[in-house]
Structure formats: C-alpha cells, structure tokens
Structure 1
Amino acid sequence: MKLHTIDAGHFKLDGGAMFSVVPKVLWERLIPADSNNHIPLAMRCLLIETEDRRILIDCGMGDKQDARWQGFYYRHGEGDLLGSLEKAGFGAEAITDVIPSHLHFDHCGGAVQWNQRRDGYELTFPNATYWAHREHWEWAMRPNPREKATFLTENLQPIQHSGHLQFLDEKKQTFGPFIEFLIMDGHTEKMLLPKIQLGQQTVVFTADLIPTAAHVPVNYLMSYDVRPLQTMLEKEAFLRQAVQENWILVSDHDATYEALTVQETEKGFRIKESGKLSEFI
C-alpha cells in the first residue's frame, strides 16, 4: 500500500470563522491573516494506492462554479486535482473509489465536473464507485439552514443519478483489511475519517475534526461546526488515542503542513512533529 497527498488547490476563509470564539490575538500567531482577515487554506486530498484499488479521499471544490462564486473563496496557487493525480501517476479513469469525508463543497466538489458541451455534469472519475455514509447523504440532501450553502445540488445530484453511489455504513465502516472509518458528528452529521494501517504505522485523515495544525488544541474549533461541544468531546477522545497509539495525522486544510503527530502536555494537546507525509512514512 502507498499513500499520496493530492493538492486540489488553495483557498481562503475568514480567520475568525475558522477559530470561532478563540481571540484573534491567539490564533493569528499560528496562521497570520491578510488585510481582509482571511487565512490561507489547502484542499488536500489523500490517494490510497493498493494492489488493485486507487481510493481517493476528498476531491477539493472543483471548478464548476462561475468566477464570481470562486472569487468568494479566493482560489489561488497552482494546485489542481487531476494534475496532482497525474503527477502521482494516475489518470481520472484509474480511480476505483471516491470517498469524500463529508459533502461540504470544498471536500466533494471536484468529484463532479462539466461535460464537454458544458450543458450538464458528469462524474470526474467515470470508473469509480462513490461512497458516503447513508445518514450523512440524507442530511446533505435535506440540508439544515446552517449548512444549506455548503451542500450544493450540482455536487450531489449527478452522483445520485449516476448509479455509482454506495453507502459505507452498510459495509460496517470497513473498506478492505487495512482501512476503517471513524465517524464524527460534531462538524456535520456522520463525517468519515479514514484510519489506515500502513505496516506498523497508523495514518488518519483528520478531515474537519482538526482542519489545520493550529486546531490541535481541543478548544480551537471552527464556527462551521454544527455541534461544537460534541466536536470538543470527539476531538479530545481522538487526540488521546492518537497520542497513545502514535498516529500520523494528515491535515486536509493546513496550507503548510501535510502531516503531524501530537503529544499531551501540561497545557493540553499540542503538535509533536509536523511536515510532509513522506517524512513520516
């Protein structure tokens, strides 16, 4: 088994929204904001290469939306989902499985693209099975007012109508002998965190439970979490196990660090080491 980080591009969000009630004087030491109070964020995906499968975790936001919509999120950098996959040695047709951690636009938008005539949508990965947790899918298809703007119809309906959609919870949260999924309900209903056994090492894609290295402290939460107190409970239990079992954590949104390990100190959970995923595995 091999793991590849896939760069689907960078974007920006409001720093205050990314850190909720944490004062700017604290979080800006970790991720400096620009003059508009925005901070840079990655859209990092993870490709799991096995003997017979190429499993893509997350897909970035894609490029279906018009320039005005894209401008709200300050797309920048040279990252590109398909280009990054090609650098890893794989075309879109080679992907066998697509598993968004959840269906917010910045995690699943790249799974669907314009067709050649640009009069409709098609799957970006035509040979892949697309996976979701059934309860999360139903949550996204009937969105609550808080999350409605991030569950986009053009990202979901083409998958539903394609015949390629299956539900992981009906497979008991396992996906082959070396991959299982941790389920979190604080950020959104039934978010999936792939936990991968790579020889003697355990690698976990943290999705939006810990979106950046700066969010390691338990009380550093996003205002986008639908159940922030539950996020804190989930995060504390997750980090304690990560310390005990020396997990390698892959960050989806940190613009600098791909991966990190954590330790528990007198001040709580903190970063132990950080860097590129290749430096850990």
Structure 2
Amino acid sequence: MRLYSIDTGFFKLDGGAMFGVVPKSIWQKLSPPDERNLCTWATRLLLIEDEDRLILIDTGLGDKQDDKFFSHYHLHGEDTIDSSLAKYGFRREDITDVILTHLHFDHCGGAITRDGEKLIPAFKNATYWSNEKHWLWATDPNPREKASFLKENILPIQQSGQLNFIKEGDPFSPAINIRYAFGHTEAMILPQIQYKGHTILYMADLLPSVAHIPLPYVMSYDVRPLVTMQERVDYWTEIADNKYILFLEHDPVHTCCTLKHTEKGVRLDQTFQLEDI
C-alpha cells in the first residue's frame, strides 16, 4: 500500500463561521483573516494505492459551478486534482473507488463534471461510495444545510449507476475501516487506514485544521455542535492514547498531525507531511 496527498488548491470561508462561539480575538491568532474576515483553507484529498485498487477520498470543489458561485469562495492556488494525480503518474481514469466522507459541496463537488450540457462522473471507471443514512439526509436536505447539498453534485452520481453504499460495521478493505461522526452532519465517514505500522484517521470536518483541536472550537456549520464536542472527547482520547496519525483535509499548512494529553486537555503534539511517515 502507498498513500499520496492530493492537493487541489485553496478556498476561503468566513472566520467566524469556521470557529463558532470562539471570539475573533482568539481565533485570529491561529488563523489570520483577510480584510473581509475570510480565512484560507485547503482542499486536500487522500489517494490510496492498495494492490489493484486506487482509492480517492473526497474530490474537492470541482470546477463545474458558475463564476457567481465561485466568487463567494475565492478559489486560488496552482494545484488541481489532475496536476496532483499526474505528479504520481496517475490519471482520473485510473481511480477505481471514490469514498465521499459527506456530500457538502467542498467535499464532493469534484465528483461530477460537465460534458457539454450533461453532468457526468469525473471518474468514469470508479465506484462511488457513500452510506445510506447520509445519502437520504443529503437528498432531502434540512434548511440549515440546503446550500451545502447541491443536487448537481449528488444526483448524477446515482443516475450514473456508479453509486454504492457502505454498510455500517463493514470494513472497506482489510486495511481500511470505516468510522463515523454525526455532529457535523448525519453519518459523516472517517476512513481509518493501517499503513506502515501506523493508524491513520482521515478527519474530514471533525477536525478541519490544527487550530480546531480544543474541544469548544466547533464550526458554526455543524448541525449538532454538542454531539461534535462529545465525539471529539471520545475520538481525541482514543487518538492520543493510541498515537494515531490524523490526515487534515482543510488545514492550509499541515497535512498530518498527532495529539497528546496535557494538563489543559488533548492538544497538538507534532505536525508533518504524509511522505515523512
């Protein structure tokens, strides 16, 4: 097995929304905003080469939305999914599986692309994996999340015939187990990977960045913030106790980190790049 970090650029979101009840006077020291109060975040994906399978976790924002949509998020950076795949000798056609942690647009927008007037899978040879609980939640969205669940990102996956559901409790493969979190959105997937003697946990939006490690640093986007906090208590303890490596999808600087127990609770231990493992 080999793992690759797939960088697809950066985007911006409101700093207050990203840190919830934490005052700006505190969070701005961790994530400096621009003059519009926007902070920069990565769209970093994980590619897993596992025998005859090439598995991509999440797909970023993609490029099919119109200029008005993208103007809200200020996409920037030179990396694209194609250039990052090519760096390791891969193409979209080589992807056999796409695991979608959840169906918010910044995690699944790149799953579908435009072919003229048609919306088609961006990875034509891949099986797309979600779970039934989250799929039903996303296709009949609540008013709070409706702007994040865009039908053009979601419905064409099912219409293509390439959608499969992961069954709760089933491993994805001998080296990949599927964990869940329910605070950010219903049944968000957290892939857990055994790699070179380490346990690597893909954090999705349970931990957007190292700046979000303290328990109250919960995004305003989370639909069940108190559930998120309890999930963090449980996960953080397990992670620190067992020295898991965390893969960070949105941290603008750090790809991976570990956590440790301190007198103030669980805090950041080390940061490093995926290739350093």
* TM-score bracket, shorter-length normalisation: over 0.9
- Alignment-mate amino acid for residue 268 of structure 2: I
Separation of aligned partners in 2, 1:100 and 1:78: 24
Match of 2:130 in 1: 132
- Alignment-mate amino acid for residue 69 of structure 1: F
TM-score by length of 2: 0.98
Post-superposition shift, 1:192?
A: 0.3
- Alignment-mate amino acid for residue 155 of structure 2: Q
- Alignment-mate amino acid for residue 143 of structure 1: P
Structure 1 runs, 4 residues or longer, greater than 2 Å off = none
Q: What are the equivalent positions in structure 2 for 1:223-262 lying under 5 Å apart?
A: 223-262=220-259
Post-superposition shift, 1:173?
A: 3.5
**SS at the partner of 2:179?**
strand
Match of 1:85 in 2: 85
Q: What are the equivalent positions in structure 2 for 1:8-157 lying under 5 Å apart?
A: 8-115=8-115, 118-157=116-155
Q: Deviations over 1:216-247 (max 9, x none)?
A: 11111000000000000001111111111100
- Alignment-mate amino acid for residue 184 of structure 1: A
Paired residues, what number?
Answer: 277
Matched, 1:222 2:219: yes
Aligned mate of 1:178, from 172, 175, 180: 175
Aligned mate of 2:189, from 187, 192, 201: 192
Post-superposition shift, 1:120?
A: 1.1
Q: Deviations over 1:143-165 (max 9, x none)?
A: 00000000011101110101110
In structure 2, the gaps of 5 or more residues are none
Separation of aligned partners in 2, 1:38 and 1:240: 31
Cα distance, 1:133–1:74 mapped onto 2, change above 3 Å: same
- Alignment-mate amino acid for residue 23 of structure 1: P
- Aligned Cα RMSD in Å? 0.9
Match of 1:169 in 2: 167
Separation of aligned partners in 1, 2:59 and 2:8: 7
Identity of aligned residues (%): 51
In structure 1, the gaps of 5 or more residues are none
Match of 2:269 in 1: 272
Q: Deviations over 1:5-53 (max 9, x none)?
A: 1012110000000000001111111111110000000001000111110
Separation of aligned partners in 2, 1:22 and 1:153: 32
- Alignment-mate amino acid for residue 266 of structure 1: E
Post-superposition shift, 1:199?
A: 3.0
- Alignment-mate amino acid for residue 5 of structure 2: T
Post-superposition shift, 1:262?
A: 0.6
Post-superposition shift, 1:275?
A: 2.3
Post-superposition shift, 1:278?
A: 1.5
Separation of aligned partners in 2, 1:223 and 1:121: 31
Separation of aligned partners in 2, 1:173 and 1:208: 22
Q: Deviations over 1:143-202 (max 9, x none)?
A: 0000000001110111010111000026x3311111011110000000000000013101
Separation of aligned partners in 2, 1:217 and 1:48: 29
**SS at the partner of 1:149?**
coil
Separation of aligned partners in 1, 2:167 and 2:82: 28
Q: Deviations over 1:105-159 (max 9, x none)?
A: 00000010011xx211111100000000111001000000000000011101110
Matched, 1:158 2:156: yes
Post-superposition shift, 1:269?
A: 1.4
- Alignment-mate amino acid for residue 204 of structure 2: A
Separation of aligned partners in 2, 1:141 and 1:152: 9
